[in-house]
């Protein structure tokens, strides 16, 4: 993993830093609460938490503009919160309630918001990659300069359809940023055991797609790389690959005991690379905020997350009629 640059004075305003801190903290606290609700049996099925990876979506969203699109895999709660979806609606979908984004019919892995240009939430590893390229094709067809962020993991990077998509995206110069969130484990299989060459960002070279590795635990590095990639796409130069070196603190899903790595490895990442602590340090050491300022943000986030949890418990289960709706649209 790239080491964090400490020397250069970051080119960022106090307000921006506070916003990143707040947005990342919202994801972390939301996910912790989701884990707790899962433990209480209020959330069922598979639940993949984003804890540790928050800088990736928060950094990239800061490079996005109105009308840009995003599509991701099943580890999707962070992406939804980062693009401005309502925490109440996301949490209520996790609990399978009427107030959820999919009226309780999609669950953790299958959630969408057309309003926020969030196109899922996909449970099939790799399948969202051509879907993202298709969204980009639609924008290119319409002649606008919007960009689609297509997120996937290091595990999905071994899927065949990813390379079919790289090829077509390059041939047709589609405005798509392929965002590889490399958290080093495809469920329980480490990169070392599953991936022939370690530098996934170089896999676009065969297709003429530029790519770079970025410290995914540093929200400012992510933001800068995101801006560069987006500019490339908006200029009509075709796709761009970003490999974000990141880490998930929790297991693959709630039922994963994570025996494939040591407790020390996880603790080391938390102690040395945590993305929220990093911004917290920048805020305090740069005198951009006081402990009290940050406490106020913590309190605000706690209120939002507790509110989302309450909403998700109180929202009723979907009406039984919902079983039979939304299967096909009336022609």
Partner 1 sequence: MPTEILMPALSPTMEEGTLAKWLVKEGDTVNSGDIMAEIETDKATMEFEAVDEGTIGKILIEEGTEGVKVNTPIAVLLEEGESADDIGEISAEPPESGDDDGGEEKEDSSAEDGSAPAPSAPAKVAQNIEPDWPEGTEMKKMTVREALNSAMAEEMRNDDTVFIMGEEVAEYQGAYKITQGLLDEFGARRVIDTPITEHGFAGIGVGASWGGLKPIVEFMTWNFAMQAIDQIINSAAKTLYMSGGQMGSPIVFRGPNGAAARVAAQHSQDYAAWYSHVPGLKVIQPYTAADAKGLLKSAIRDPNPVVFLENEILYGKSFEVPVLDDFTIPIGKARVAREGTDVTIVSFGIGMTYAMEAAEKLAEDGIEAEVIDLRSLRPLDYDTVIASVQKTNRCVTVEEGFPVCSIGNHLSAILMQRAFDWLDAPVINCTGKDVPMPYAANLEKLALTSTAEVLDAVKQVTYR
For the segment 107-146, give every residue that binds partner 1 (CB under 8 A).
Answer: 110-114, 119-124, 127, 129-139, 141-142
Contacts of 306 (CB under 8 A, 6+ apart): 33
Nearer to partner 1, 192 or 259 (CB): 259
Residue 194: which of 152, 229, 158, 220 has the closest Cα? 158
Does position 35 interact with partner 1 (CB under 8 A)? The reply is: yes
323 lies in the site for partner 1, by CB under 8 A: yes
Instruction: Tell which one of 2, 44, 300, 310 touches partner 1 (CB under 8 A).
Output: 44
Q: Which residues contact 178 (CB under 8 A, 6 or more apart)?
A: 129, 132, 150, 152, 166, 169, 204, 209, 211, 239, 240, 241, 242
Distance between CA atoms of residues 32 and 185, nearest Å: 20
| DSSP-derived 3-state class of residue 214 | strand
146: three-class secondary structure by DSSP: coil
Q: Which of 3, 197, 292, 328 binds partner 1 (CB under 8 A)?
A: 328
Smallest separation (angstroms) from partner 1 to the CB of 270: 7
Nearer to partner 1, 122 or 280 (CB): 122
Verify binding: residue 188, partner 1, rule CB under 8 A: no
Nearer to partner 1, 67 or 198 (CB): 67
Considering beta carbons, is residue 16 or 163 the nearer one to partner 1?
163
C-alpha to C-alpha distances, 211 to 229, 232, 242, nearest whole angstrom: 9, 11, 6
Structure tokens at 312: 């998700």
- Residue 30 binding partner 1, by CB under 8 A: no
- What is the smallest separation between the CB atom of 292 and partner 1, expressed in angstroms? 16
Q: Is 69 helix (H, G, I), strand (E, B) or coil?
A: strand
End-to-end CA, the chain: 52
In the shown chain, the binding pattern of residues 244 to 273 toward partner 1, with x for contact by CB under 8 A and - for none, equals -----xxx--xx-xxx---x------x---
Number of residues that bind partner 1 (CB under 8 A): 75
Other beta carbons less than 10 A from residue 114's beta carbon: 7
Which one of the spans 58-66, 211-219, 223-231, 243-251 is the region binding partner 1 (CB under 8 A)? 243-251
Binding partner 1 (rule: CB under 8 A), the pick from 3, 192, 292, 324 is 324
> What is the number of other CB atoms lying within 10 angstroms of the CB of residue 330?
3
Least distance (Å) between residue 280 CB and partner 1: 14
* CA distance readout (Å), 280 to 60, 184, 294, 312: 19, 25, 8, 30
Cα-based distances in Å from 180 to 61, 156, 175, 201, 300: 15, 9, 16, 8, 31
Interaction residues for partner 1, span 45-84 (CB under 8 A): 45-46, 69, 71
- Residue 122 or 288 with smaller CB distance to partner 1: 122
Segment interacting with partner 1, rule: CB under 8 A, options 78-86, 158-166, 206-214, 238-246 = 158-166
Residue 87 contacts partner 1 per CB under 8 A:
no
Report the nearest approach of partner 1 to the CB of residue 186 (Å): 18
Query: If binding is defined by CB under 8 A, does position 196 make contact with partner 1?
Result: no
155 binds partner 1 (CB under 8 A): no
Closer residue to partner 1, CB minimum distance, 5 or 302: 302
* 307 near partner 1, judged by CB under 8 A: no
Beta strand ranges found along the chain (DSSP E) = 69-71, 148-153, 176-182, 185-186, 189-190, 211-215, 240-245
């Amino acid at each position: 993993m790239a080491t964090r640059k400490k020397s250069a004075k970051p080119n960022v305003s106090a307000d921006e830093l506070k916003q990143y801190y707040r947005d990342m903290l919202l994801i972390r606290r939301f996910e912790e609460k989701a884990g707790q609700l899962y433990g209480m049996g209020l959330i069922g099925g598979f639940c993949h938490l984003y804890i540790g990876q928050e800088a990736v979506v928060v950094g990239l969203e800061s490079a996005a503009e109105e009308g840009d699109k995003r599509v991701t895999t099943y580890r999707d709660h962070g992406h939804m919160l980062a693009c401005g979806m309502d925490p109440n609606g996301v949490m209520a979908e996790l609990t399978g309630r009427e107030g959820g984004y999919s009226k309780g019919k999609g669950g953790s892995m299958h959630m969408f918001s057309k309003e926020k240009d969030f196109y899922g939430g996909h449970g099939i590893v790799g399948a969202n990659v051509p879907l993202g390229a298709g969204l980009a094709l639609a924008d290119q067809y319409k002649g606008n300069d919007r960009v689609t962020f297509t997120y996937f993991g290091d595990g999905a990077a071994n899927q065949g359809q990813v390379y079919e998509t790289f090829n077509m995206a390059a041939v047709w110069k589609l405005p798509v940023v392929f965002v590889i969130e490399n958290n080093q484990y495809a469920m329980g299989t480490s990169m070392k055991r599953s991936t022939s060459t370690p530098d996934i960002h170089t896999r676009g070279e065969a297709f003429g797609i530029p790519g770079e590795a970025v410290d995914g635990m540093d929200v400012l590095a992510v933001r800068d790389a995101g801006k560069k990639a987006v500019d490339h796409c908006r200029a009509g130069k075709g796709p761009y690959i970003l490999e974000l070196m990141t880490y998930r603190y929790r297991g693959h899903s709630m039922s994963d005991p994570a025996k494939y790595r040591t407790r020390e490895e996880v603790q080391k990442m938390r102690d040395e690379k945590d993305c929220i602590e990093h911004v917290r340090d920048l805020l305090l050491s740069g005198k951009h905020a006081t402990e009290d300022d940050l406490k106020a943000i913590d309190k605000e986030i706690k209120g939002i997350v507790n509110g989302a949890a309450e909403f998700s418990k109180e929202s009723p289960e979907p009406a039984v009629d919902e079983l039979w709706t939304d299967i096909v649209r009336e022609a």
